[in-house]
A and B are shown apart, each in its own frame.
Chain A
Amino acid sequence: AQSVTQLDSQVPVFEEAPVELRCNYSSSVSVYLFWYVQYPNQGLQLLLKYLSGSTLVESINGFEAEFNKSQTSFHLRKPSVHISDTAEYFCAVSPMNRDDKIIFGKGTRLHILP
């Protein structure tokens, strides 16, 4: 079975400051890794994903995440946040090569302070 832990339920950060949202997972098999973003009263949107290849993946709006197999982590980072990044962020995993469901973390709410 797989599990996902997002260590922070809320993260406040000043505008233009860097941010890191932490995600650790547990799995007995290899996994795909995802970050989703949810704006208020909307569904979740895929932000970025790691399937294979380079362990550093990037989104179009400046976020990046690095897959660290030894630490079973997939932390999300952005060097300079904007007020429009205010949202809830969910980390998720799905086992490779298996017909099984995606497992989500409990989410981290990112508050951008002016």
Chain B
Amino acid sequence: DGGITQSPKYLFRKEGQNVTLSCEQNLNHDAMYWYRQDPGQGLRLIYYSQIVNDFQKGDIAEGYSVSREKKESFPLTVTSAQKNPTAFYLCASSMPDRGNTEAFFGQGTRLTVV
């Protein structure tokens, strides 16, 4: 079955540590996105990538980094520079060919700093 997979579902991190969230898709989509979700704040775009080896900052990129070495994979690293990393993180993909007709989402990763 085609889809988008995020792992792990729950992640705990000590303060000062970097951590990487995984996102893999087998939908052959060109575009991939990372969102952060906090209670009452909707979805906030962290980074997005329209094509392999290229990505752009979203609205809240500070303290995060990404790579897009393969079409299928778009990992997100939460660095120690991110002051308040506890949140629910969502990955999505789409095919923006003459307009996105749908975005597909993973099940999310809940990151907690302990």
Contact = CB atoms under 8 A, between A and B. Distances in A.
Whether chain B is bound by chain A comes out as: yes
Interface of A: 9, 32, 34, 36, 41-46, 49, 51, 90, 92, 94-102, 104-107
Interface residues of B, number: 28
B24 to A, nearest CB: 14
A101 B102 CA distance: 10
Given A96-B99, A98-B98, A106 B48 contact: no
A97 B99 contact: yes
B104 to A, nearest CB: 8
A-side interface mostly:
loop
Interface of B: 6, 31, 33, 40-43, 45, 48, 50, 88, 90, 92, 94, 96-108, 110
A102 B94 contact: yes
Nearest to A45: B105
Contacts of B98: 96-99
Nearest to B10: A41
Contacts of B33: 101
A101 B45 contact: yes
B63 to A, nearest CB: 21
Nearest to B39: A109
Contacts of B45: 101
A32 B43 contact: no
Contacts of B90: 43-44
A1 B99 CA distance: 14
A45 B31 CA distance: 17
Most buried by A among B6, B42, B48: B42
A90 B42 contact: yes
Contacts of A95: 99
Given A43-B107, A44-B90, A106-B41, A101 B96 contact: yes
A49 B102 contact: yes
A94 B95 CA distance: 11
B43 A90 contact: yes
A110 to B, nearest CB: 14
